[in-house]
Copies of this chain bind each other. A is one copy, B any other.
Amino acid sequence: MTQYQEKAKITRFEQLSENIVRLTLYSPDIAAATKPGQFVMIKAGKGKDPLLRRPFSVHQTTSDGHLQILFKVVGRGTDMLARRKEGEEISVFGPLGKGYKIEKSKPACLVGGGLGIAPLLLLAKSISRMKMDTSKDVIILGGRSADEIKALVKDFKQFGIKVLVATDDGSLGHHGFVTDVMKNTRLADDSVVYTCGPEMMMMAVKNICAIKGLQCQVSIESVMACGMGACLGCTKHTKDNRYVHVCLDGPVFNAEDLKWNL
């Protein structure tokens, strides 16, 4: 796998809700190389503080060299990034990590919660292109409220895959959790579940999969310094108490290989 470091121009800035932003970057080398579930490292500001880059899943790529990230303002780095303007350049490197392993011959169930929806858009596109039959596939998206996910739901619908929605406040789709929807959805026995979202949600998804006997791929987070295996900072425990590195061995893992301790 080849990585690139690019000065990427911000070609589009979308404020999807009060604190959710989608940036479109012109970053042709990285965009061309990225597979679903992979991420990039971005320098939020120019100065030495905050010092480290921030990891973001690639949300979408286009064949004309654009790459999107979708993020929520949670701290200083994302706040600075949310103040950048169209036309400005930011430093990006990637693609990094191991993404989702698409099982072409098996029904897919994508489950995204909150910002965990980010990597699933590129995944949905890839699935729609790689698979002959997506009639048994389903995408389940969840968020706090319609505000947070309305714009995204529209984007997912373009692939002709069934999209189900849940919101905490019932303002869009099912009133409740994605896991409720998942439980109530008939999934083929050989379905593969691809998920990303808050740890609580992913654990619930994993548990449902365990019960139903479904394969479950989760995309997890960790604080990162380098994003490329150089600092050894991004460790997580496996089920059998070994360490894996999220940036190298993940961010996508088989749910059952990890230790879940909430």
Contact = CB atoms under 8 A, between A and B. Distances in A.
Interface string A11-53: 0000000000000000000000000000000000101111000
A50 B45 CA distance: 13
A47 B45 CA distance: 10
A46 to B, nearest CB: 9
Contacts of A50: 47
Contacts of A49: 47-49
Interface residues of A, number: 6
Nearest to A47: B49
A212 interface: no
A76 B48 CA distance: 11
Contacts of A45: 47
Contacts of A76: 47
Interface string A70-109: 0000001000000000000000000000000000000000
A76 B50 CA distance: 15
A55 B62 CA distance: 48
7 contacts: A45-B47, A47-B47, A47-B49, A47-B50, A47-B76, A48-B49, A49-B49
